[in-house]
Amino acid sequence: MQRRGKPLLLCLTTAVMASTSTVMAAGSYQIKIDWNRVTAVSHATPTLQVVVNPLLRPSSPVSRRSLQAVKHLGANFVRFVPWLPYPRLAVAELQPPSHGRSQWNFSLIDPMVRAFMRATNGHSVIMNFSTIPEWLFKTSKPVPYPKNPDQVDWSYEQGTQLRSQSLQPLADYYARLVSWYTRGGFQGRYGRWHNSGYHYHFAWWEVLNEVNYEHHMSVQEYTRWYDAITAAIHRVSPTTKFVGLALASGQQPGNFGWFKYFLNPKNHVPGTPLNMISFHFYASTGSRKTGVWSRNVFSQARGFIHQAGRITALRNRLSPKTLIDTDEIGTFLPGDNTRPKPLAIPHAYWNLSGAMFAYVYAHLAALGVDVVGESQLIGYPTQFPSVTMVNWHTGLPNARFRVLQLLVRHFGPGDKFCATKVAWTGGHRKGEGIYAQAVTAPGGRHLILLVNKANRSYVVYIPDALRSMVDCVDEQTASHDPKAMPLPNGHIALGPWAVAVVRLHR
């Protein structure tokens, strides 16, 4: 669990106080920028995903505080995922129709949807009710689920083959689900109108989640399901756009065939929209010893960025109008989800994970990726605690959330990436170092993103930044808001795994 501390802003005050002679004697990084040479134009929106679990229920103070943070963040493309470990919080029709009556029950799901839609406050959302009612599948016997909605159950999802190969019952389930939230209700199987009163706008709907793991599907089968579900949803919500694939470990070379098949319009029913594709990436620290974290995490991140480049190039060739969303990016500690009472999570881990996300965001934006989503708002023991963006006891943001806050505040579509060089000057350097990217943002703003990829402090000298302001997230700011401080002499000392944004006055 992350601890809270006073916002000492060490990385900022050190930057103000450090003398040039001391800095250069110890060795430092120097950032050189050619503001006239644009290397890429970003289309990328930084955002996050919100996964449903008991701590997201409105009765939870953790939910209220964390969703308040989402509201203040003001991000677009926020992903909402009612997911399989809690069937009663994720599936609206847990029982098949019986004696001429449907078995729909939204009583536990609606309050979470309402709270989420209030928190996103008119910003675009990506909805993904990824868990399918098990009675739609062939199983040897009915699949049970806990009566207690807060009891975790990883065994609910068992079926792999649908009872109806026509796909109509599956498509109808999702059409009625969307209609419930966008058209005030839906027409049931037996002609009865089920009234909800909701008229939300769902800009995006993602079709299932990590189907290469969760449903053990082939890409051919998934494509058939995608075509049927999107056609049914379009009939009740014509303006909704769709996200396909949501592949787990999307960076693995073995998954490249999924993108190649799915992005080819010839493999779909004519007229099927290919609005956006998505895939996921999690880096593992490989150990609970901090000394190897940087090497392991950033090495995996570079591999993911390389594969994302291949996927982007394939998209450009086969379906250039299709957007790309990496809507689950995070890090894991070993044994993250196998202990009911996990080992203590070192405070610095949240900074490591935030630094990795900032590093990946900048590279994906340069590649042409459209949405970069951090995973996930609330995690806790048995629910991937090392992936959480808030304290699961208090709901207050940790450093992972604060880094996203920096990115949302300063970067977005329309940013022009300028040629940026990072040079080490003197001294002895071990392991990972500093990443920097200069940006000219809409409105004429000049920004520099700095990421310390190492578990040690470095000093960075920016000749262009003699009269500037800097915002920073590091171990000292911890869970607190990034604060703006002046940078009078062009030097900034970045603590381990710190992320900073320099705002230049030009």
Q: Which amino acid is at 249?
A: S
Res 216: pLDDT: 84
pLDDT given for residue 430 in this prediction = 64
Question: Which is more confidently placed, 55 or 27?
Answer: 55
Q: For the domain that residue 207 is a member of, what is the CATH number?
A: 3.20.20.80
357 and 379 co-located in one domain: yes
Residue 467 lies in a domain: yes
Is the domain of 272 the same as that of 304?
yes
* pLDDT tens-digit readout, 366-384: 999 999 999 999 999 888 9
Do 386 and 439 sit in the same domain of this protein? no
What does the alpha-carbon distance between residue 313 and residue 324 come to, in Å, rounded to a whole number?
11
Question: Could you tell me the residue range of the domain that residue 276 belongs to?
Answer: 45-141+158-410
pLDDT bucket at 16, cuts 50 / 70 / 90: very low
Q: Is the peptide bond before 376 cis (omega within 30 degrees of 0)?
A: yes
> CA-CA distance, 491 to 488, in Å (whole number)?
8
| Side chain identity at residue 214, one-letter code | E
Q: Is 139 helix (H, G, I), strand (E, B) or coil?
A: coil
Question: Which residues are CB-neighbours of 404 under 8 A, at least 6 positions away?
Answer: 46, 47, 48, 73, 75, 354, 357, 374, 389
Are 198 and 104 found together in one domain? yes
Q: What is the pLDDT of residues 283-342, one digit of tens each?
A: 999 998 999 999 999 999 999 999 999 999 999 999 999 999 999 999 999 988 776 676
Residues with Cβ within 8 Å of 438's Cβ and at least 6 positions away in sequence, in order, are: 31, 33, 35, 417, 418, 419, 420, 446, 447, 448
* 306 and 341 share one domain: yes
Radius of gyration of the chain (CA): 24
Is residue 7 over pLDDT 80? no
Which DSSP symbol is given to 360?
H
Nearest to 134 by CA among 170, 180, 98: 170
Which residues have C-beta within 8 Å of that of residue 323, sequence separation ≥ 6?
275, 276, 277, 370, 371
Residues 422 and 391 in one domain: no
Same-domain check for residues 170 and 287: yes
Residues 347 and 293 in one domain: yes
pLDDT in tens, 155-189: 999 998 999 989 999 999 999 999 999 999 999 98
Banded pLDDT at 5 (limits 50, 70, 90): very low
pLDDT in tens, 85-144: 999 999 999 999 988 888 999 999 999 999 999 999 999 999 999 999 999 999 999 999
Of 355, 388, 410, the domain-final residue: 410
Alpha-carbon torsion angle 300, 304, 306, 307, nearest 10: 140
Per the prediction, the chain carries an average pLDDT of 92
Quote the number of domains for the chain: 2
What pLDDT is recorded for position 15? Answer: 44
Please tell me what DSSP assigns to residue 109.
T
The mean pLDDT of 437-446, rounded to a whole number, is 96
Alpha carbons 391 and 376: distance in angstroms, whole number: 12
pLDDT digits (tens, 9 = 90+) for 64-82: 999 999 999 999 999 999 9
CB distance 56 to 63 below 8 Å: yes
